[in-house]
Amino acid sequence: MASIDPPLSESAVQEAASVRPAASLWSTGLVAAAAWVGTAALIELWPEIIPQPYGRELAAGALVIALLLAVVAATGKLGGKAAVTIRYYGPWFLASALVVSGWEIVTAKTGLLPVPFFSSPQSILEVFFDDWERLGISVFYSVLLLAKGYFFGALAGFLTGVTIGWSRAASYWVHPVLRLIGPLPATAWLPLAFFIFPTSGSASVFLIALATAFPVTILTWSGIASVNRDYYDIARTLGAKPLFLIFKVAIPAALPHVFVGLFMGLGTSFAVLVVAEMLGVKAGLGWYLQWAQGWAAYANMYAALLVMALMCSTLITILFRVRDWSLSWQKGLVRW
C-alpha cells in the first residue's frame, strides 16, 4: 500500500498553484496547447494508408484540448480549482499529445504496426461512437455482479475476521480451514461452481465473494489480534462490557487493517469477475472482450480494456475515499 505514489495530494496542488502565482502566462500550457494543435493537424492533413472514419472527430477533440489549455494558460488563476488541476497536469498534457501523435503515425498514417492487431486512435473512437450502448450495458452488468459479490464477500470476511480475532474457540476451528482453503485461487472453483449453482450469475457472485472474503478475513483478524491490550484494560476499568470492547475498542482499532484487506479483496475480485464473465456469464466487460475477440474486433477490445481500467480505477478511488473519511484520525495516509 505504501508504494502507491500520491499523484495529486492537496498540498501538491497548492504547491503547483503557489509556484507561479504571479505568472500570467503559463509556458508549459502554451507548449502543450501547440502540441495538441500539431496533433490535430497531423490527424487531419496526413492521409491515412487505409481511409478510416472518425479522423475528423479525433482532430476536433485534439483542438478542444488545445483550446482548453490555451485558455487556462492565458487566464492564469482565474479558472479556480479546475484550472489549478489542469496546470498541475501540464507536463502530462504535453506528453500525451506526443504519445497520441506517435501512435497515430505508426498505425493509421504509415501502418508500421500490423493492422488489425494494433488499432488506431480513431478506430477506438469509432467503437465509442458506434457501440457505446453495448459497452454501457456491459459496464452496468459488470458493476452489478461485482457489487453483489464484493458486498457479500467483504461482509462475510469482516464478520469471520472479527469472530476469530475475538474468540479463541472460533479461531481453533476456523483457522485450519482458512489455511487450507484460503490460498486456493477462487477461479479454481469455477468449473465446480458453474455446475453446483443454478445460474452462472449466482456462481459468479459466490466466486467473487470467496475471492474477496479471504484477504478481508485475514487482515481483519490480524487487525483485531494486534490491538494494544492496554486499550482493553483501560476500557474495562472505565466500566466497559464485552460488547463495548468489541464494537468501540477492537473494531475501530482494527479498521486500518480492515481497509488494507478490503483493498486487496477488491483487486482479486476484479480478476475473478473478468474470468467468470469470459467463461460463463453472458454479460459484462469480460464477456464483451471475449465477444470482440470472436469477431476479431481488436479496436473493440482496446476500447473495452480502456473502459475496464477506468471502471476498476474508479472503484478503487471510491474505496480510498471511504477509507480516508473513516480513518481521518490517522496522519500520513497514502492517497490514491
Q: Would you tell me which residues interact with other proteins (CB under 8 A)?
A: 228, 230-231, 233-241, 244, 248-249, 252-253, 255, 327, 329-331
**Residue closer to other proteins, measured from CB, 106 or 255:** 255
Share of the chain residues as helix, strand and coil, in percent rounded to the nearest 5: 80, 0, 20
**Residue closer to other proteins, measured from CB, 2 or 238:** 238
Residue position matching grid coordinates 483501560: 234
Closest approach, Cβ 248 to other proteins, in A, equals: 7
**Residue closer to other proteins, measured from CB, 250 or 273:** 250
Residue position matching grid coordinates 488499432: 119
Does residue 116 have a cis bond before it (omega within 30 degrees)?
A: yes
**Residue closer to other proteins, measured from CB, 151 or 231:** 231
Count of CB atoms within 10 A of residue 44's CB? Answer: 15
Half-sphere exposure of 266 (CA within 13 A, CB side): 17
Name which of 48, 167, 202 is nearest 119 in CA terms.
48
Closest approach, Cβ 228 to other proteins, in A, equals: 7
C-alpha cell at 264: 486487496
Crossing angle of helices 200-225 and 132-166, rounded to 10°: 40
Closest approach, Cβ 330 to other proteins, in A, equals: 7
Closest approach, Cβ 206 to other proteins, in A, equals: 34
Alpha-carbon distance of 307 to 174, in angstroms, equals 39
* 57 Rama class: left (phi>0) / alpha (psi -120 to 50) / beta: alpha
Closest approach, Cβ 331 to other proteins, in A, equals: 5
**Residue closer to other proteins, measured from CB, 110 or 330:** 330
Longest Cα–Cα distance of the chain, Å, equals 81
**Residue closer to other proteins, measured from CB, 103 or 232:** 232
**Residue closer to other proteins, measured from CB, 168 or 229:** 229
Closest approach, Cβ 253 to other proteins, in A, equals: 7
> Do 123 and 51 contact (CB within 8 A), yes or no?
no
Alpha-carbon distance of 164 to 24, in angstroms, equals 61
Q: Which helix (H) or strand (E) holds 269?
A: helix 251-279
Closest approach, Cβ 152 to other proteins, in A, equals: 27
**Residue closer to other proteins, measured from CB, 31 or 245:** 245
* CA 248 vs CA 160, 238, 245, 330, 333: distances in Å: 18, 13, 6, 17, 22
Closest approach, Cβ 227 to other proteins, in A, equals: 10
